[in-house]
Amino acid sequence: MSEVRLIPFKLEEVLQTAGEEIPYGIQMINAPAAWDQGSKGKDVVVAVLDTGCDVNHPDLKDRVIGGRNFTSDDPEDYLDGHYHGTHVAGTIAASINKLGVAGVAPEAKLLILRVLGADGSGSYQGIIDAINYAVEWRGENGERVRVMSMSLGGPDDVPEMHEAIKNATANNVMVVCAAGNEGDSSERSDEHAYPGYYKEVVQVGAVDEQKHLADFSNTNDEIDLVAPGVNVLSTYPGEKYAKLSGTSMATPHVSGALAVLILKEEAEFGRELTDPEIYAQLCKNTQSIGLTKKGEGNGLLYLGMESRKEASQKEEKNVTVPK
């Protein structure tokens, strides 16, 4: 098998402080409203398959539940040899601190699976092993992975990786993948990257702060939704912060949102939801921004759905007796 790499992305700026800022992307997808309703993804485990993570970062140190390295002989070394993984992890679940950023699901737990080295590349076998590890992993209190986030990819359809992903979804793990950054600013053309193009995954495209499709974002007939992916502020190794651009940055917005939705919806249903049921709830939490299906899929991620109880109460109030 050939190597897989980080999907090309752009480092826009490194900052010493975040300045008590909730990143625009977190606000654009309406995450604070979900927090106000009591859902911050508490203890939902998200596996992050990336370059590792700075587990000592003040915004992340309380979020990491465990990890493993699939790139070297030392499986216990899952620190970030790059910076991409730390940035992704922060968008998913950075704690709400006075002088830091906040993730979409600031009370979720992160399982850090390092599958890419300091140069941003890794083996398909390492990714396959990490996917299978995430499915089988159990925490000290019986926790298991509910969401898997992969901001990586390549042009090759690798059957063994596809089978591992199918096994993950069959075991009720939502798999979220970046669409890729080979776009040409046209919604009519198709660009494919794997594993994003597999039907079983949630494939995420990117928009900018004005809700315009990012000119680099891949478009194709398997796009599921879009999320903020331009100038995204998040955590960076060494207690720093950075702004990055790419579908790699859009993907963790969706991974964090799934943690929020899983907690909220399973509390309302009173049971564990299946992969298709969770996907249905995710699709409900989108809004069209006027693009084609190849561009936006179901639309822009927006955590704006009312609970069924609230919706029912509104319907009851609006019922009129015919004359």
At residue 16, what are phi and psi to the nearest 5 degrees? Answer: -75, -35
248 catalytic residue (yes or no): yes
Q: Measured in whole angstroms, how far is the alpha carbon of residue 205 from the centre of its chain?
A: 11
Are 169 and 200 within 8 A, CB to CB?
yes
At residue 250, what are phi and psi to the nearest 5 degrees? Answer: -70, -40
Catalytic residue among 54, 57, 82, 84: 84
Catalytic residue among 39, 50, 87, 224: 50
- In terms of DSSP bridges, do strands 3-6 and 286-287 run parallel, antiparallel, or are they unpaired? unpaired
Q: In 3D, which of 246, 244, 211, 216 has the Cα closest to residue 28?
A: 211
84 catalytic residue (yes or no): yes
Which residue(s) pair with 66 in the sheet? Answer: 111
Residue 227 per-residue DSSP state = E
Cα 183 from Cα 192, distance rounded (Å): 9
Q: In 3D, which of 70, 69, 147, 77 has the Cα closest to residue 108?
A: 147
Residue type, 197: Y
Coil, strand, or helix at residue 265? Answer: helix
Residue type, 246: G
50 catalytic residue (yes or no): yes
Are 51 and 120 within 8 A, CB to CB?
yes
Catalytic residue among 54, 248, 253, 255: 248
Residues with catalytic roles = 50, 84, 248
